[in-house]
Amino acid sequence: MAVGVLALQGSFNEHIAALRRIGVKGVEIRKAEQLENVSSLIIPGGESTTMAKLAELHNLFPALREFVKMGKPVWGTCAGLIFLANKATGQKTGGQELVGGLDCTVHRNFFGSQIQSFEAELPVPDLAATEGGPPSFRAVFIRAPAILEVGPDVEVLASISIQTTKKVDPSSSLQSQEESGECDGKVIVAVKQGNLLATAFHPELTIDSRWHSYFMKMSSNDNEIVAASSSSVYEDEERYLYNKQPKIDLPVYE
């Protein structure tokens, strides 16, 4: 069965293109009944409040919650991470509805506004062990959330270091905390819990498809088609990236 990509708003086309690169069909999901035809689901990055309003308008939240409860694999990136979290802070007045299921607390826009977007080299030992390739992943953060707390069943896959001295204040953004010197030395940006995967960054905006291949392994069993060998895919894409594509630099977060 195909992989569904929630297509209300945000980078759903980029996810579908990334799936295509590893030989997997992605289909756009806009209605609750369409979830019956997919084996797994990606909730993409975008504007989380807008996505939530559109999901509520189309009465998608009950179907999304049921999809998660059924144990089908679901991956949330950036805004999708906020959707999957059991608790979110730093939201606009009135908050937003959440799908839930992921035992964590997420801070919306933790890293600041659009102009604070950046790239960072993340150590990803579990991803590299499973998918091959280098031990780090160059992650793109755009108005990104961060995970402040996780439950005992949540596996941390990646964290980012922040040069600071004091503890995170869940009610303020990283930008305001940096100005006052008040934030933690490390925050979590990728986790896995059972059938749920979540990343605060945007793997779909890079040529490195290892996160998509990793998610496909969550969606597969011995009788299903598994994505192409990620190590060879990564090598081919790496050559394409450096030989064919112009490099677009965002600020690098050190």
Cα–Cα dist 193/206, whole Å: 24
Please say if 183 is a catalytic residue. no
Is 204 a known active-site residue?
yes
Which residue bears the tokens 């409860």? Answer: 69
| Structure tokens, 34 | 């369409």
CA distance 131 to 234: 9
In this structure, the chain runs to a length of 254
- Note whether 147 and 200 are within 8 A (CB): yes
Check if the beta carbon of residue 98 is closer than 8 Å to that of residue 86: yes
Determine which one of 15, 107, 202, 212 is catalytic. 202
Q: Evaluate whether 41 touches 69 at the Cβ level (below 8 Å).
A: no
Which residues are CB-contacts of 45 (< 8 A; sequence separation ≥ 6)?
A: 10, 11, 77, 78, 79, 80, 142, 202, 204
Quickly tell me which residue has 């004091």 as its tokens: 166
C-alpha torsion 59→65→66→70, nearest 10: 150
**What does the DSSP 8-state code read for residue 119?**
E
Q: Are 178 and 240 in contact (CB under 8 A)?
A: no
Out of 14, 131, 204, 237, which one is annotated catalytic? 204
Tokens read off for 228: 């192409």
Per the residue annotation, which of 14, 78, 107, 237 is the catalytic one? 78
Residue 127 to residue 20: CA distance in whole angstroms: 20
Which of 113, 141, 126 lies closest to 210, judged by CA?
126
> Is 202 an annotated catalytic residue?
yes
CA 9 centroid distance within chain: 15
What residues act catalytically? 78, 202, 204
